[in-house]
Chains A and B, each alone.
Chain A
Amino acid sequence: EVQLVESGGGLVQPGGSLRLSCAASGFTFSSYWMSWVRQAPGKGLEWVANIKQDGSEKYYVDSVKGRFTISRDNAKNSLYLQMNSLRAEDTAVYYCARGVYAHDYWGQGTLVTVSS
């Protein structure tokens, strides 16, 4: 059974940093592109970033470029999102999802709240 489990969310002050993790199981993690998608409270889905199987290609939504870094450790079956210079508008549930275009499996999400 495919499972994606996010962790690392929490309350952080504006300008602060946070690192999200996503533990994958039930499939060959190193064979898939992986993505992060977020959803602000009461709002729609927003694609954030994705990363190729070997980490050689990474893409980001404009609003996080230069602040967020996506990475992965295939030996640990894990996906990460390093978030720096956080803003109030980054407050959202962050989902880890499998796939580069269509996302066929999603985690349950981890809530990031940016507030003083």
Chain B
Amino acid sequence: SYVLTQPPSVSVAPGQTARITCGGNNIGSKSVHWYQQKPGQAPVLVVYDDSDRPSGIPERFSGSNSGNTATLTISRVEAGDEADYYCQVWDSSSDQGVFGGGTKLTVL
């Protein structure tokens, strides 16, 4: 089955840029979606189809996808961005959804 690999943790100072990666075999050929989840809350979609943002999501959140790595970039990080972030794809070879293991973003 298809595997998505995320770093367990990323730390960044306020105002700096956070980059969270999601690795997968030829992931550039798939559409990648990103979710933010804060403790005790349901996930929130922050980027879909590699780089599109749902309405209400700040422009500070952006995404890219090429080769074997997709990246969620959060610019001008704020304390409120501290959360777990998950990438997701649809694996058409198995007809199953797949989530990465998640990355805990810590704002120093």
Residues of A in contact with B (beta carbons under 8 Å apart): 35, 37, 44-47, 50, 59-62, 95, 100-104, 106-109
Contacts and interface: CB of A to CB of B under 8 A. Distances in A.
B42 A44 contact: no
A115 to B, nearest CB: 22
A59 B96 contact: yes
Interface string B74-108: 00000000001010101000111111111000000
Interface of B is mostly: strand
A64 B97 CA distance: 13
Nearest to A58: B95
17 contacts: A37-B43, A37-B97, A44-B99, A44-B102, A45-B37, A45-B86, A50-B97, A59-B95, A101-B33, A101-B97, A102-B31, A102-B33, A103-B33, A104-B45, A104-B48, A106-B44, A109-B42
Contact of B1 (A35, A62, A102, A109): A62
Contacts, number: 60
A104 B57 CA distance: 12
B43 A35 contact: no
A3 to B, nearest CB: 12
Interface residues of B, number: 25
A95 B42 contact: yes
A61 B101 contact: no
A107 to B, nearest CB: 7
Contacts of A59: 95-97
A1 to B, nearest CB: 13
A13 B95 CA distance: 30
B90 A101 contact: yes
B54 interface: yes
A47 B48 contact: no
A66 to B, nearest CB: 15
B42 A46 contact: no
A61 B33 CA distance: 18
A62 B94 CA distance: 9
B47 to A, nearest CB: 9
